[in-house]
């Protein structure tokens, strides 16, 4: 007896037991949803042992967490009114009282470095001693700040625009924890809103901890929206095709359980919800509905043919089960290729996606026949869609094209390939921490504000290792750093750097009684005098803490980047490295560039390089599956052509539309290939069955396979197209691009599988239509009618 016949008998005879087991598994996985956590850190796309990660970890070891700065800024002349200015000072003081805040630096906290000639040391004194009570007091503070204290330029103010800024340094230990999120939503945002309502001022808020928190909340909000939209659109399309409420209801039950399982597996494995992981629940819905289409369509066809419900249910499992298994296996393989990358983020995505794609297959195979076994046979009205004239016209048109216009199909294919190749050469690589963030949100607009006012918010760190203790304060080292700083100043995409140079220049200014004209590096002679003041001063040592390590061997130069692409960042990096190579002898210094933004950009390049490997693995895995199924290398080659062509077309579209290769769009190719090959398997499986039935007559077999599978392939392609199109409503640019590109690819794939594949089979008739070439497959993908015993009676088991 055929294996799948035995499976069908087991499922239908043990339906109560199977339902109990499924309920228990669902309850178990539902209990794991409570462990779901949203990612508190930026996505690290590089393997842990990558040189960029090693550099960044070393930086953290020396200087601690870099991304703990939240910035508040106001660009409004009315800020300098007495009441508003007082409220601005109080706002900083109030935030400073929270345990989550290490310190705040605002106008109220500014300490001037002054020279104590009597004791030969530097001391600090506040910018003002009494809270300003008049417009004259504020103007005096404003003048002194903007004209006499260049140390704070682009740190607390922008001299050119008059923007004031307050810096909030969070406790480093909470930056990558949920405590940061609670502080932002429960404390920071309400206080800022209260300030805005009271003063009428618009406070701009940014900094990586704040951006990450607001972005994570958007991910949370969109998961529910995606699941709801995916369920709504797929159920609507399903109902339009089948015109059956119960078929639609059964399908929605299956995919809803699939969503619970997906969330449960994520919680069980203790993986964090990232932008990528948030795609899985709606993805399961989109992939699960086609399973239901094939199974329910086959069930209704069988009922229409012979009216025996028990036999129909058995044949659904025995005839469609294996083909559906293979299609889900190939889809899962497309996602599973990410497991072989060294990126932890992609690895987790690949594991969860591939597991749940197979899970939704088994859920469909078990639940759909079992639920139907408890119901009455479908009525005539439920079977009317099988004879829809418009669908028959679509299939007839496809058959006519394949029969009479194959030359036209080939010419069109060649033209598409040429046009696509031109588009491929226009593709650019891009990547940044904020590029895919929702551009309509307030926090994204604030990012642009800080880029315009202060040069950016994404930190780029330059670490100078002098290879000896106290080497940083050597004047030669400082001069070398100053030349590098001058180079950074000339790069418009980078902000004015902050480093030990600012402190040393400020010390010289203080030595010359605060004259801003002396805000510059000291000469060799001046340094000896200034150094004698510095040795006796705790004030300057305190200011140096953030820029020089405790041994005096390492110095950091912090600049902030605008939202620039990978290509531009590489130009900037090469320019800085050339300057470093020229000014810092390798035998005396080791200079490294790092920072979260740079690590992310490097991760994008790493993924692009791994894209070819990932896609090649997907093609290889699926080819091996096809080889195992069909045992014909010629059929493998023929089947790959209509599935690789849509990928080329999509790459061309990306080039023409200016959609860059980035972490989000990199996924398109492996995902789309794994899904699009499903139609090929269904078509070729039916084609082989028709070949045997028609005694190796290729023409009859191709047309027969096209008529038999055309409807289901069309239905599933439409569902997949609109299902992935759901992602285009996302506020995240990457998710939007992913949804749109996969939809386009699958639409191209449908056309290729329904027109190009049959045409190739007909044109290569003599090469493939013989028993020697087309050996008996390792498994019967679609069993012949005589493979099952049909021994079930009309009574349900």
**Domain boundary assignment for the chain:** 3-42+213-425+600-787, 111-132+500-545
Radius of gyration of the chain (CA): 33
Which pLDDT value is given to residue 794?
44
- CA distance linking residue 544 with residue 528, whole number of Å: 18
Grouped pLDDT means (10 residues each) for the chain, 797 residues: 80 92 96 83 74 89 80 93 92 91 84 80 80 88 88 86 90 85 92 94 91 81 81 85 84 92 94 82 84 83 81 83 80 81 81 94 93 82 65 83 89 92 86 72 87 84 92 90 92 88 87 88 79 55 71 90 78 90 92 84 74 73 70 75 87 87 74 78 78 78 82 81 84 80 87 88 67 52 50 46
Helices 475-489 + 500-511 axis angle, to 10: 110
DSSP letter (8 states) at residue 770: S
Listed in sequence order, the residues at least 6 apart from 366 whose beta carbon sits closer than 8 Å to its beta carbon are 11, 18, 22
Listed in sequence order, the residues at least 6 apart from 106 whose beta carbon sits closer than 8 Å to its beta carbon are 88, 89, 92, 156, 166, 167
DSSP letter (8 states) at residue 425: T
Q: Which of 43, 9, 30, 56 is nearest to 792 (CA)?
A: 9
Q: Which residues pair with 158 in a beta bridge?
A: 163
Burial class (CB in 10 A: 0-12, 13-18, 19+), 227: buried
Which pLDDT value is given to residue 483?
94
- Cβ atoms 223, 273 nearer than 8 A: yes
Burial class (CB in 10 A: 0-12, 13-18, 19+), 54: middle
Q: Which of 238, 244, 183, 239 is nearest to 209 (CA)?
A: 183
Q: Which residues pair with 101 in a beta bridge?
A: 170
- CA distance linking residue 302 with residue 299, whole number of Å: 5
- CA distance linking residue 617 with residue 605, whole number of Å: 19
- CA distance linking residue 149 with residue 288, whole number of Å: 64
- CA distance linking residue 155 with residue 167, whole number of Å: 8
The verdict on domain 3-42+213-425+600-787 having CATH code 1.20.1640.10 is yes
Does residue 383 sit in helix, strand or coil?
helix
Which pLDDT value is given to residue 403?
87
Which pLDDT value is given to residue 542?
54
Which pLDDT value is given to residue 42?
64
- CA distance linking residue 352 with residue 469, whole number of Å: 49
């Amino acid at each position: 007896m055929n294996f799948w016949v035995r499976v069908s008998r087991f499922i239908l005879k043990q339906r109560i037991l199977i339902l109990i087991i499924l309920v228990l598994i669902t309850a178990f996985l539902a209990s794991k949803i409570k462990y779901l956590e949203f990612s508190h850190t930026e996505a690290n796309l590089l393997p842990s042992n990558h040189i960029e990660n090693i550099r960044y970890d070393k930086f953290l070891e020396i200087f601690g967490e870099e991304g703990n700065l939240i910035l508040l800024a106001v660009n409004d002349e009315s800020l300098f009114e007495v009441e508003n200015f007082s409220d601005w000072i109080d706002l900083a003081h109030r935030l400073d009282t929270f345990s989550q805040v290490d310190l705040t630096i605002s106008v109220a906290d500014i300490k001037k470095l002054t020279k104590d000639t009597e004791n030969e040391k530097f001391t600090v004194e506040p910018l003002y001693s009494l809270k300003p009570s008049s417009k004259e007091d504020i103007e005096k503070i404003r003048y002194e700040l903007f004209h006499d204290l260049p140390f704070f330029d682009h740190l607390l103010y922008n001299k050119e625009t008059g923007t004031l800024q307050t810096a909030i340094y969070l406790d480093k230990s909470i930056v990558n924890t949920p405590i940061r999120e609670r502080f932002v939503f429960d404390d920071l945002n309400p206080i800022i809103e209260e300030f805005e309502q009271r003063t009428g001022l618009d406070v701009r808020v940014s900094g990586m901890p704040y951006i990450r928190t607001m972005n994570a909340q958007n991910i949370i909000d969109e998961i529910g929206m995606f699941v709801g939209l995916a369920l709504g659109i797929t159920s609507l399309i399903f109902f339009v095709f089948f015109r059956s409420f119960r078929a639609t209801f059964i399908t929605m039950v299956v995919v809803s359980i699939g969503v619970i399982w997906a969330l449960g597996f994520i919680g069980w494995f203790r993986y964090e919800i990232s932008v990528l992981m948030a795609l899985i629940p709606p993805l399961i819905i989109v992939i699960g509905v086609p399973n239901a289409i094939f199974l329910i369509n086959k069930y209704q066809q069988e009922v229409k043919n012979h009216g025996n419900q028990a036999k129909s249910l058995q044949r659904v499992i025995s005839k469609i089960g294996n083909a559906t298994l293979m299609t889900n296996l190939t889809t899962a393989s497309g996602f599973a290729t990410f497991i072989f990358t060294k990126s932890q983020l992609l690895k987790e995505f690949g594991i969860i996606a591939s597991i749940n794609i197979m899970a939704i297959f088994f859920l469909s195979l078990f639940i759909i026949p079992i639920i139907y076994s408890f119901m009455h046979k479908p009525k005539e009205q439920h079977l009317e869609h099988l004879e829809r004239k418009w669908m028959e016209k679509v299939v007839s048109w496809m058959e006519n094209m394949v029969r009479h216009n194959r030359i036209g199909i080939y010419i069109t294919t060649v033209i598409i390939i040429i046009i696509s190749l031109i588009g491929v050469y226009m593709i650019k690589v891009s990547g940044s921490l904020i590029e895919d963030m929702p551009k309509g949100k307030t926090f994204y607009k604030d990012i642009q504000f800080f880029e315009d006012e202060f040069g950016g918010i994404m930190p780029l760190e330059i670490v100078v290792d002098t290879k000896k203790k106290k080497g940083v304060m050597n004047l030669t080292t400082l001069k070398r750093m100053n030349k590098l700083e001058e180079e950074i100043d000339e790069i418009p995409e980078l902000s004015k750097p902050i480093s030990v140079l600012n402190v040393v220049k400020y010390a010289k200014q203080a030595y010359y009684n605060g004259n801003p004209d002396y805000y510059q590096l000291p000469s060799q002679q001046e340094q000896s005098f200034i150094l004698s003041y510095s040795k006796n001063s705790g004030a300057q040592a305190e200011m140096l803490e953030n820029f020089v390590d405790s041994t005096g061997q390492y110095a950091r130069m912090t600049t902030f980047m605008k939202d620039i692409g990978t290509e531009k960042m590489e130009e900037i990096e090469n320019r800085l490295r050339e300057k470093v190579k020229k000014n810092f002898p390798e035998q005396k210094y080791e200079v490294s560039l790092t920072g979260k933004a740079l690590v992310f950009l490097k991760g994008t390049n790493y993924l692009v390089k791994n894209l070819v490997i990932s896609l090649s693995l997907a093609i290889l895995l699926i080819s091996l599956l096809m080889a195992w199924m069909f045992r014909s290398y010629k059929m493998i080659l023929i089947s790959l052509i209509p599935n690789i062509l849509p990928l080329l077309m999509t790459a061309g579209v990306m080039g023409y539309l200016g959609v860059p290769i980035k972490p989000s769009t990199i996924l398109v190719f492996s995902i789309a290939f794994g899904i699009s090959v499903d139609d090929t398997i269904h078509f070729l499986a039916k084609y082989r069955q028709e070949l045997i039935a028609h005694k190796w007559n290729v023409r009859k077999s191709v047309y027969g396979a096209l008529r038999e599978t055309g409807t289901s392939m069309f239905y599933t392609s439409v569902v997949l197209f609109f299902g992935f199109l759901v992602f285009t409503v996302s506020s995240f640019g990457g998710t939007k691009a992913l949804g749109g590109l996969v939809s386009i690819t699958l639409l191209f794939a449908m056309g290729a599988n329904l027109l190009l594949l049959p045409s190739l089979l007909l044109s290569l008739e003599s090469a493939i239509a013989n028993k020697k070439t087309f050996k008996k497959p390792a498994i019967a993908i679609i069993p012949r009618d005589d493979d099952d015993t049909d021994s079930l009676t009309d009574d349900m088991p």
